[in-house]
Amino acid sequence: MKPFSLLYVVLLLGMAGYSCGDNKAEEKDKQHVEHTNQSDPTSNSPVTLSVDEFEGMKLFMRKCNKCHPGGEKGKGPSLNDKEYPRFLIHWQVRLGGGDMPKFTDEEISKNQLQQIISIVKLMQNMTKE
């Protein structure tokens, strides 16, 4: 199992607690989220997600994960091994292409798209380590 895949499972398990409507958990979301850095199993240093990264992770799970599971190859290509700049990711999402559908502003707002791009960039950086 790739290091990011294990991190992905940890994040999913952590997200399960946030979907119960617990207001205290939602308040914690707004501050930051920490989890163990699984890219180096000997490291106990936490990784802190910004609010945008955390919101982006939730959006990624709803909108992107079906075709790009954990940012890896699925129905769509792997995102983790790409070094595309933010604006290219933005245009790929907006224009689609090949099997990828286009997502309009009504489906994913500009702010939400920036949050998704933030978590994609974080996933890419974590798989490089």
Q: How many domains does the chain have?
A: 1
Collect contacts of 72-81 with beta carbons under 8 A, ≥24 apart.
Answer: 72/2, 72/4, 72/5, 75/99, 76/100, 79/120, 79/123, 79/124, 80/4, 80/123, 80/124, 80/127, 81/124, 81/127
Q: Which domain does 50 fall in, by range? A: 3-128
The answer to whether the beta carbons of residues 63 and 116 sit under 8 Å apart is yes
Q: What is the CATH number of the domain that holds 102?
A: 1.10.760.10
Residue 37 pLDDT class (50, 70, 90 cuts): very low
pLDDT in tens, 20-34: 334 444 444 444 444
Tokens linked to 12: 């999913």
pLDDT in tens, 78-122: 999 988 899 999 999 999 998 999 999 999 999 999 999 999 999
